[in-house]
């Protein structure tokens, strides 16, 4: 296959340069059909009439991103997705890890706080002055009904108003949805005090879901960017940040069935042992993974977690 060339009008979302590579293009008719078939959601309007979306990689930072940017999902899309029980999970691995890293912090902001479950936990369990900002109207209503301080603010306006106010800014499973990650990171840093913590958790595109051909939620209009360890390692060269630590989520118990499904999909139908290997996955491997947290800990899971410190 001839090497794909990047379009001249496309630039990296982090470096603003044309040092990028076109990885693939996706027909939007296929996206629309797949979303209708698998999720019963019509994304036609979300794709703004575009015939094709393009997946690029920034050669300097290894960030992967989709263009055009106006295919980023609307609030109406997320209101449809939250009807699924699995979409807003009240308890997340990254919340448990962040609790440890937020010891000693007094003023905390969560960007994209959803229904405010993490804010509620910080205020209730730790007595921390935590607040959140969110755009999803139904999530805001849920938080307000429970007196959780989550408000609707534009991030960039809020950063101007509250510059240097927070000891920590957190964002969990949000950055991958943002069409302007550079501006998002700059605003997040602006909100921090010098030495403050920026805590980010995103799907790790180098983990097992990368083998899932029908991973619709890791494509537009749901995700606009894809992140990996190397991308986060590049950020201190672009922003006034220092990496404090990385964590990688082990395979979660609620992802075991998905993990097995993906491994099974990788088996060649023409392999002579395909049937036997499929049975082994379901009858041996899956029960072990469900029972043993230790075995799951040996497998790289869904989420990549990183803590940055804002330079003085």
Q: What is the enclosing helix (H) or strand (E) of 58?
A: strand 52-58
Give dist(CA 132, CA 115) in Å, integer.
Answer: 9
Q: What is the pLDDT along the chain (312 residues), one digit of tens a residue?
A: 344 444 447 999 999 999 999 999 999 999 999 999 999 999 999 999 999 999 999 999 999 999 999 999 998 898 889 888 877 777 889 999 999 999 999 999 999 999 999 999 999 888 899 999 998 888 899 999 999 999 999 999 999 999 999 999 999 999 999 999 999 999 999 999 999 999 999 999 999 888 877 789 999 999 999 999 999 999 999 999 999 999 999 999 999 998 998 888 887 665 677 788 888 899 999 999 999 999 999 999 999 999 999 997
Query: What's the angle, vertex CA 98, arms to CA 300 and CA 192, rounded to 5?
Result: 125
The answer to whether 46 touches 221, Cβ cutoff 8 Å, is yes
> pTM surpassing 0.85?
yes
Pairing of strands 129-133, 107-111: parallel
With a CB cutoff of 8 Å and minimum separation 6, the contacts of 291 are none
Joined together, the tokens standing for residue 116 give 């405010």
With a CB cutoff of 8 Å and minimum separation 6, the contacts of 79 are 136, 137, 138
Other residues' Cβ atoms within 10 Å of the Cβ of residue 74 = 13
Give dist(CA 35, CA 54) in Å, integer.
Answer: 18
Other residues' Cβ atoms within 10 Å of the Cβ of residue 167 = 18
Please give the C-alpha separations between residue 57 and each of 13, 78, 268, 298, 305, in angstroms, as whole numbers. 10, 26, 29, 29, 21
């Amino acid at each position: 296959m001839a090497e794909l060339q990047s379009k001249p009008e496309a630039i990296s979302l982090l470096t603003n340069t044309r040092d990028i590579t076109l990885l693939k293009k996706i027909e939007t008719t296929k996206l629309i059909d797949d979303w209708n078939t698998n999720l019963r959601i019509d994304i036609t309007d979300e794709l703004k009439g575009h015939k094709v979306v393009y997946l690029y990689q920034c050669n300097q930072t290894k960030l992967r991103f989709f263009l055009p940017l106006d295919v980023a999902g609307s609030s109406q899309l997320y209101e449809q997705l939250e009807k699924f029980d699995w979409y807003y999970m009240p308890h997340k691995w990254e919340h448990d890890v962040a609790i440890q890293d937020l010891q000693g912090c007094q003023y905390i902001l969560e960007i994209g706080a959803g229904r405010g479950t993490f804010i509620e936990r910080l205020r209730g369990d730790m007595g921390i002055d935590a607040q959140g900002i969110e755009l999803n109207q139904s999530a805001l209503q849920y938080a307000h009904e429970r007196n959780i301080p989550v408000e609707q603010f534009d991030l960039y306006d809020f950063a101007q108003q509250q510059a240097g106010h927070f000891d920590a800014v957190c964002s969990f499973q949000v950055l991958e949805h943002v069409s302007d990650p550079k501006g998002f990171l700059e605003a997040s840093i602006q909100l921090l005090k010098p030495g403050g913590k920026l805590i980010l958790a995103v799907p790790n595109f180098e983990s097992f879901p990368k083998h899932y051909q029908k991973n619709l939620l890791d494509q537009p209009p749901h995700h606009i960017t894809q992140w990996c360890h190397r991308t986060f390692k590049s950020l201190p060269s672009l922003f006034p940040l220092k990496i404090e630590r990385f964590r990688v989520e082990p395979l979660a118990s609620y992802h075991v069935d998905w993990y097995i499904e993906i491994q099974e999909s990788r088996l060649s139908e023409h392999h002579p042992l395909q049937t036997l290997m499929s049975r082994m996955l379901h009858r041996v491997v899956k029960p072990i993974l469900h029972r043993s947290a230790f075995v799951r800990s040996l497998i790289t899971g869904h989420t990549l977690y990183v803590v940055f410190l804002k330079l003085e």
